[in-house]
Amino acid sequence: MIKIMKYGQVPNSEIFARVTPTVDVAGIVADILYDVRKNGDKAVLSYCAKFDKAELTTLEVSKEEIEEALTLVEPEFLEILKEAAANIRAFHSRQVRNSFVLADKPGIVLGQKVTPIEKVGVYVPGGTAAYPSTVLMDTIPAKIAGCPQIVMVTPPGKDGKINPAILAAASIAGVDKIFKVGGAQAIAALAYGTESIPKVDKIVGPGNAFVAEAKKQVFGMVSIDMIAGPSEILVIADGKSDPVHVAADLLSQAEHDKLASAVLVTDSEKLAAAVAEELERQLPKLPREEIARASIENNGKIIVADSLMAGIEIANEIAPEHLELMVDDPFSYLDAVKNAGSIFMGRSCPEALGDYFAGPNHTLPTSGTARFSSPLSVDDFVKKSQFSYYTADALGNVAEKIAAFAEKEGLRAHGRSVLVRKEGEV
């Protein structure tokens, strides 16, 4: 059963304890990265056979396979995918940044140029579940940013095929190339390039511990979005909340992973007890009960606070990936929330709405990194360059000031490079 804690009566170390994966995969991942960097497609194909049990001769998904997938997906689900994609486009289109120019001083032009990243790699997990939602969430912002090439990698099944729903989502989102490879070897292929998989400039998308470690190790060679940890949800609920709804929302994240974290913060001891009982009633009904139960029993907690504002302070300290405000007037608390990846407002806004359909991104900061980082957005797929232009007269007007600044830092050649333009030999 889930643990119930009274804030102020148990050590903060228990209240704010986080899940820390103990599996050390760094050495295994380093070996895989080296092998793929050295041996290219040959290494990738061997790992597909080893880990995915798929005997492949080619890695790229053909147009015929994509067309076949579109016929295999139910028409009703295709329409759902298209509507979700439209919602995601509508939201992310508001994030587009423009270049700007400042020319308000004589002889001086300054500016910032926004340029889309040339090649983006999107990792889509496979294995125990298929995630067409990740395809939409990670590809559509890149398309809006104007990235010329989007390359997707995802592990194949034992039959060497990709789940049709994933291919359908890729078609709707506008992915340019798709390859049948997952795990650390997929990250290596995107980072270094192989005979068939192009080297990209940035890699985005969630994955298991091996994928996360691989992204960490290739960072610097390429850019990455974030190092994603186990899924998290924190629900702040008052005594009027329905325990059936609260428990269902907690389980929506617990079923992801045994390391997932589901937390309820409430000012009602009665609700705390009711939710604990409701979790036990709902768990046996889940196909992934074993996973969800391990998450709830090992990492889940119910924290009883003196007030909802105290609950907000607890949430700000935890900085959860997903935060639900299950109260009558959630907007009155919104300004007090400082650290959260995505915030779900009110009693009719379960986290699953954001996972699939609403429009805001579901690739979010985890493990407390919402203290300083943001959800995936269009900003992640552009880079910014500055530019400056000075006429000779404009430079001459500030030359002595620049030289004085350079002298103060002991970098005389900096100053000379300016003065020589004003005075000739110096």
Residues catalogued as catalytic: 321-322
Q: Containing H/E element for 179?
A: strand 177-180
Q: Which residues contact 158 (CB under 8 A, 6 or more apart)?
A: 52, 53, 54
The type of residue at 139 is T
Q: Is 281 strand, coil or helix?
A: helix
**What's phi and psi for 5, nearest 5 deg?**
-125, 145
In the sheet that holds 108-116, the strands lie side by side as 100-105, 108-116, 382-390
In the sheet that holds 223-224, the strands lie side by side as 177-180, 149-154, 119-123, 202-204, 223-224
**Cβ atoms of 212 and 346 closer than 8 Å:** no
For tokens 């996972």, the residue is 355
Distance CA 408, CA 57 (A): 64
The type of residue at 119 is K
For tokens 């997990």, the residue is 125
Distance CA 277, CA 283 (A): 10
Residue 121 forms beta bridges with which residues? 151, 203
In residues, how long is the chain?
426
Measuring CA to CA, how many Å separate 290 from each of 18, 251, 282, 293, 324? Answer: 21, 12, 12, 5, 25
Encoded tokens for 212 = 């996360």
Residue 63, classified by CB atoms within 10 Å of its CB into exposed (0-12), middle (13-18) or buried (19+), is exposed
Q: Is 106 strand, coil or helix?
A: coil
Encoded tokens for 237 = 């609920």
**Cβ atoms of 236 and 326 closer than 8 Å:** yes
